[in-house]
């Protein structure tokens, strides 16, 4: 059977009912990293709306991994307990759910967006941010370079968070390795100026991500998929900037170590040419990575109509369509898409009939 937007997809032992994915979106409503009623509604409503896979917002593996004091976390047992009923609700609607694990690195320690999203110094409840090198990713502060010992501790944090994700009942794990956050700060030469085993050469700059993948694979079931979101390009004209060919090369390495899906986003240290920000403008990144590696890919970037989403799948450009703003505008986009494409889908639960 030819693939289309509502065809199932098997990833290891995980069966997705369709190719529509809810993209991670920060909510900034989690003091102490704890989720609650907001996340039950935010994530649960998109599951009721028919997506095949829900991915949580970026969830920190330690307190210093957050961007703000209000980001979700998975560094303690209380957070596991808070996530569990939300996971179960999403699954009860016929969707699967993945947690996106991250560390903001040098982009961390900010005030709530409603308070201006400015850098929050330690005296105001923030922390000293750490990155691959001593670089400034915020005009108000310069991050410190991580020591090798601190890097090893971070890998352990990711491993422990992955084990907690299994305890909470998540179906899959995604690593946020794009958008200028910690993993990206290491693999891009724009921000990695190290001369040790975690810097300089391509193999050294990707080492943190690869070693983290290896560590996570030791604590999750063999049948659990592992996803990675990459910034396929840096959106920079600097000669040392990360390029699409680098993403293809990195993806091939990640495949060897147990990564099943790559979502191809872009940017983090620079902005794209605004004249080129048009519908589907990032889809070619996923298409290129898929064509050159064969890995399952997710496409993002101004995808707003059922027809656009379906064409991405039927043409083979990508295997998954990852939606953010469109699902904020319309939590029931999948149900509307099925009607528009004349595809019969199972009746959502619960089923309410008007008399």
CA pair distance 233, 236, nearest whole angstrom: 8
CA pair distance 46, 52, nearest whole angstrom: 9
CA pair distance 319, 299, nearest whole angstrom: 8
CA pair distance 350, 26, nearest whole angstrom: 27
Taken in order 155, 160, 166, 168, is the CA torsion positive or negative?
negative
- Cα within 13 Å of Cα(295), Cβ side: 32
Q: Is 176 helix (H, G, I), strand (E, B) or coil?
A: strand
Cα 249 versus chain centre, distance: 19
| pLDDT value, residue 344 | 81
Number of H helices and E strands in the chain, helices first, is 11, 12
What is the pTM assigned to this prediction?
0.96
Query: Both ends of the chain: CA-CA distance in Å?
Result: 38
Q: Largest Cα–Cα distance in the chain?
A: 71
For residue 260, the 8-state DSSP code is -
Q: List 97's β-bridge partners, or say none.
A: 54
For residue 119, the 8-state DSSP code is B
Instruction: Name the residues annotated as catalytic.
Output: 181
CA pair distance 50, 21, nearest whole angstrom: 10
Cα 326 versus chain centre, distance: 17
From first to last of the 355 residues of the chain, give the pLDDT tens digit. Answer: 578 999 999 999 999 999 999 999 999 999 999 999 999 999 999 999 999 999 999 999 999 999 999 999 999 999 999 999 999 999 999 999 999 999 999 999 999 999 999 999 999 999 999 999 999 987 788 999 999 999 999 999 999 999 999 999 999 999 999 999 999 999 999 999 999 999 999 999 999 999 999 999 999 999 999 999 999 999 998 999 999 999 999 999 999 999 999 999 999 887 788 888 899 999 999 999 999 999 999 999 999 999 999 999 999 999 999 999 999 999 999 999 999 999 887 655 555 445 4
| pLDDT value, residue 271 | 78
Q: Give the other-Cβ count within 10 Å of 343's Cβ.
A: 15
| pLDDT value, residue 2 | 75
């Amino acid at each position: 059977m030819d693939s289309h937007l509502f065809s199932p997809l098997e990833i290891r032992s995980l069966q997705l009912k369709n190719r529509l994915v809810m993209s991670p979106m920060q909510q900034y409503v989690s003091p102490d990293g704890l989720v609650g009623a907001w996340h039950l509604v935010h994530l649960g409503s998109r599951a009721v709306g028919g997506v095949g896979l829900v991915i949580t917002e970026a969830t920190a593996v330690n307190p210093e991994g957050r961007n703000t004091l209000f980001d979700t976390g998975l560094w303690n047992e209380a957070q596991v307990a808070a996530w569990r009923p939300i996971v179960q609700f999403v699954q009860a609607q016929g969707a699967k759910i993945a947690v996106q694990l991250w560390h903001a690195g040098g982009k961390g320690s900010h005030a709530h967006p409603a308070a201006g999203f400015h850098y929050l110094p330690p005296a105001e409840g923030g922390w000293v941010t750490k990155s691959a090198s001593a670089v400034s990713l915020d005009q108000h502060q310069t991050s410190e370079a991580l020591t090798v010992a601190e890097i090893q501790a971070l890998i352990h944090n990711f491993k422990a968070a992955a084990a907690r994700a299994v305890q909470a009942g998540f179906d899959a794990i995604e690593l946020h390795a794009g958008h200028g956050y910690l993993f990206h700060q290491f693999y891009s030469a724009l921000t990695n100026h190290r001369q040790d085993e975690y810097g300089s050469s391509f193999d050294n700059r990707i080492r943190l991500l690869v070693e983290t993948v290896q560590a996570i694979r030791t604590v999750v079931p063999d049948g659990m998929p592992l996803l990675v979101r990459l910034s396929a390009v840096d959106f920079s004209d600097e000669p040392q900037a990360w390029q699409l060919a680098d993403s293809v090369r990195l993806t091939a390495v990640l495949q060897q170590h147990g990564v099943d899906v790559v979502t191809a986003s872009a940017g983090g240290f620079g902005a794209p040419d605004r004249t080129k920000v048009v519908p589907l403008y990032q889809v070619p990144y996923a298409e290129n990575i898929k064509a050159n590696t064969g890995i399952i890919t997710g496409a993002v970037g101004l995808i707003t109509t059922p027809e656009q989403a379906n064409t991405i799948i039927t043409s083979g450009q990508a295997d998954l369509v990852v939606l953010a703003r469109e699902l904020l505008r319309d939590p029931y986009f999948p149900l509307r898409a099925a009607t528009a494409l004349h595809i019969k889908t199972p009746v959502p639960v619960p089923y309410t009939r008007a008399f």
